[in-house]
Structure formats: structure tokens, C-alpha cells
Structure 1
Amino acid sequence: MTDPTAPLIAILDDEPEIRRILAAALEDAGFRTTSFGRATEFEAALRRITPDACLIDLGLPDRDGLALVHRLASDSGAAIIIISGRAQVQDRVTGLELGADDYIIKPFEPAEVVARIRARLRRPAAAASTRPRTLRFAGWTADFDRYSLTDPEGTETPLSHAEAELLRIFTDNPRRLITRAQMLEALGGAAGDSFDRAMDVRISRLRTKLGEDPKNPRLIKTIYGAGYIFLAEIG
């Protein structure tokens, strides 16, 4: 019997056999799953369930998959992994730029999908017990349970899973240089132009949500050719 507290993975793909293969592999690995063949069913279900990760096919019969990924990244704290037959580099770059955490090309090995999800959701037990879930810096409050940022005036802004992961890297390492290689290792991505482009967009979005001046950021400083430094003190 699947552990009722195990992470819930939502599968959205219009091919029943792919849904079956993914669900079987994930459940064998100890995850809970719920599957949908149409975007409308999936979006309706999100009103009553909170998945930890979503596997999204781009070739949906009733909705543009990329638009759905973009909305999920803006409104949901779930990890988003695209599974698609679109193998062009530009498709991967676009998916990651719109907020996906990972991109898997069909055909795929089920074991690889399981491994990618584990990488997205991994949280070492020791760290989970000691890392605070709410942090304050420079008048801002970051709530990593609710995936939200609250500004000094009290206005709350949602964070995507990808943005929250990035902010956590910064708040775990204040006033220290963080290289691209360290980000790659921490975020479990794949090296290459698509990761670099996605990281640039992710940092830009986080800066926007923090009210940063892109020409003179106060909190996330770019050290050209080296990486980034988060300049705020953590309270």
C-alpha cells in the first residue's frame, strides 16, 4: 500500500499508455499518482488537490501545454517537469524559460523520470529539520511552505517552485559567491545553454518580485564571469 504521506505526482498526458507506464513506475518507487488526459480535467482537480510535482505533456488536445506550464509556474508551488516529443533545443529552452524545472524528451526511460522527480523533490532529512521555513531579509518575508514573498508593506506575491528553490539557495548562502556550477548541482539541472538561459530568466523573475532595479540590483548582485552574491542579512 502506498504511503498516504508520500509525495503526490500529477500526470497530464493525452496518451493512456504513457499515463499507465508513468503511474506504475512512480507508484513502484513509492510515490502517489493521479492522472489526467485533458488539461481541463487537470485544472479542475487542482482546486481540490495539491500535487508535489506535475508531469506535463505539451501536445494536449484542449490547451496549449506551454501556456499551462507558465500558469502553473506562476500560481503553484509544485515542481513542473515537461515530458514531450518536441526535441528541438528551442522547445526545451522555451519550456524552461516559462518556468518548468526540467524537460524530458519522449521516448523516455521510466527510471529516468523517477530519478528526475526525486532530484526535484529531494530534501535531506537533516536539513529539513534545521532549516527555517520562514525567513526575513531586508524587510521581506519568504515563506517556503506557502511559496510566497511578502514585501515590507505587507503585499504578498506567489513564488513558483523554481523561484523558491533559487531563493533558498541564496538565503542559505548570504554574502557568499554562488557559482553557476554550484547552482547546477543544487538544482539538479543539465549543463548547457538551456540551463543557463532558464537560470537567467529565473533570476530576472526573482529580482522583479523583489522589486529590484535591473540596472542596479541591491539584493542579488551579478559577479560577471563568476556567479552571484545575495547581499541581504538573514533575520
Structure 2
Amino acid sequence: MNAPNTNAPHVAILDDEPEIRRMLVDALEESGFRTTAYGRATEFEAGLKRAQPDVCLVDLGLPDRDGLALVHRLALESGAAIIIISGRAQVQDRVTGLELGADDYIIKPFDPAEVVARIRARLRKPRPDAAAPAQVAYFAGWKASFERYVLINAEGVETPFSHAEGEVLRLFLESPNRLISRAQMQETLGGAAGESFDRAMDVRISRLRTKLCEDPKNPRLIKTIYGAGYIFLGDVRWE
């Protein structure tokens, strides 16, 4: 057997059904990912302290934790992309999961190839010959660290943001003073277009405004252009 590629993206799987864990491990490792699988949330949380994965696949129906509460904590504390895998198929369940910070939501039963494709969409990287993206941005008295997933104000107070919020923030900061349409956001960030995507974007932008101490009725940085999209107003310096 070939030794695992230690540079391959690491996917942590949390599902209490052994058959699903095996299916996901087989599909992901065959596609070049490293995996660690857990049947209980306590084991999963202990594993995260030892190694930070690039992606977390989380089932909501867990025997020892509330799945949605776990997703919300991961979104606040982890830099990993979070994908829910659940048998809960109602629209409200999907919206709630996205509101709590998940990046994507896959309904059981699923095709393992779809999970692999969704993960790859979340881990899009620059071409090998492209320069590594800058990880720190300065704007309007704020510092945003995309390595540590924190916003730092002029007084040095840190406010964490989730991976999902960071995707939206980076998109704005990389295109300041330019209109970004919903279609552009969907194309850049991935995910299926529609009500769930629009709702997820609304939630992430609202949270970013709160963390940036914006007036929700008259934000000065992230402006909504009704019927067109959003504009981030301000000068941005990257390091």
C-alpha cells in the first residue's frame, strides 16, 4: 500500500453509521484525500485538538451531541470548511444549518461522488504556478487575518469569524469599490444557486456587518445595492 500523501487535504468525518463512514472514507481516499472518521462527537472533538482538518463532514443525528450546536461551534472556532450530511431534508433544516455557519448541506442518501465534488469545490486552490494569496488585509481601521480567522480593531480587540464568513469577506476585500452581483458570488463561492444560497449569503453578510460594528440600517462598508448585489466601500491593503 502506498504511503498517504501528507500534503493532501484532510477530511474529518463524523457520522454514527459505520457503513456511511466506510463509504465516505473509501470514496475520499480513492480521490486523493486524507481522512479521519469518528462515530461520536466526543471522539471528533478530541481529534480536532490533535490536528486541524481542512474539511469537516458532520451528521446532525449524533448520539452524544446536538449536531446543529456542534456545527455552530465549529463555525466560530474552526478554520475548516463545514459540510453537513443529514437525512433531514426539509428546507428549514437546510436554512438553519447554513445560518449556523455550515458551508454546504448534503441530504442522505447521497452519491459519494457528489460529496467528493462538493469538497473539491470548497477547497479550490490557486494554480501551482500562481502566487500564494495574501493572508492579512488592512481596511478602515481593521485588520483581517485569514490564517487565524480573526478581525482585529484599532484597540487590538479580536473577533473571530468563520470559514464561510471569511470566504465572503475575502471576496469583498479583493474587489473593493466594485459591484459584486449574486451571480458572481455564487460562481466564485460555489454552491447551488437558489433560495438557500441567497439566504446563506444574507446571513453571512449580516454577521460580518455585526462583527465590523456596522449600523445595520446604514452600513458604511458593505453596501447593499438592491436588485444588483453588494459593494465594499473603502481602501484595502494586503500583506
Alignment TM-score, normalising by the size of structure 1? 0.97
Matched, 1:153 2:155: yes
Q: Distance in 2 between matches of 1:166 and 1:75?
A: 17
**1:177-216 equivalence runs, <5 A:** 177-216=179-218
Aligned to 1:228: 230
Query: Identity, % of aligned pairs?
Result: 74
SS of equivalent to 1:81? strand
Moved over 4 A (4+): none
Which runs of 5 or more structure 1 residues have no equivalent in the other structure? none
Matched, 1:170 2:172: yes
CA offset at residue 126 of structure 1?
6.1
Structure 1 residues 15 and 80: alpha-carbon distance in aligned structure 2, compared to 1, 3 A threshold: same
SS of equivalent to 1:35? strand
Q: Distance in 2 between matches of 1:128 and 1:166?
A: 21
SS of equivalent to 2:49? coil
Structure 1 residues 10 and 153: alpha-carbon distance in aligned structure 2, compared to 1, 3 A threshold: same
Q: Distance in 1 between matches of 2:130 and 2:221?
A: 25
Q: Distance in 2 between matches of 1:4 and 1:42?
A: 20
Aligned to 2:102: 100
Aligned to 2:20: 18
Identify which range, 42-51 or 122-131, moves more after superposition.
Answer: 122-131
Count of residues in correspondence between the two structures: 235
Which runs of 5 or more structure 2 residues have no equivalent in the other structure? none
User: What RMSD over aligned residues (CA atoms) do the two structures have, in Å?
Assistant: 1.2
CA offset at residue 130 of structure 1?
4.8
CA offset at residue 153 of structure 1?
1.1
SS of equivalent to 1:47? helix
Structure 1 residues 183 and 127: alpha-carbon distance in aligned structure 2, compared to 1, 3 A threshold: farther
CA offset at residue 164 of structure 1?
0.6
Q: Distance in 1 between matches of 2:112 and 2:39?
A: 18
CA offset at residue 223 of structure 1?
0.5
Structure 1 residues 130 and 37: alpha-carbon distance in aligned structure 2, compared to 1, 3 A threshold: closer
Deviations 1:54-105 (A, max 9, x none): 0000010111111111111111110000001111111111111111000001
Q: Distance in 2 between matches of 1:151 and 1:7?
A: 32
Q: Distance in 2 between matches of 1:219 and 1:126?
A: 33
The one of 76, 82, 94 aligned to 1:80:
82
Structure 1 residues 128 and 65: alpha-carbon distance in aligned structure 2, compared to 1, 3 A threshold: farther
Partner letter of residue 195 of structure 1?
A: F
Contact 2:82-2:102 at 8 Å conserved across structures: yes
Contact 2:126-2:132 at 8 Å conserved across structures: no
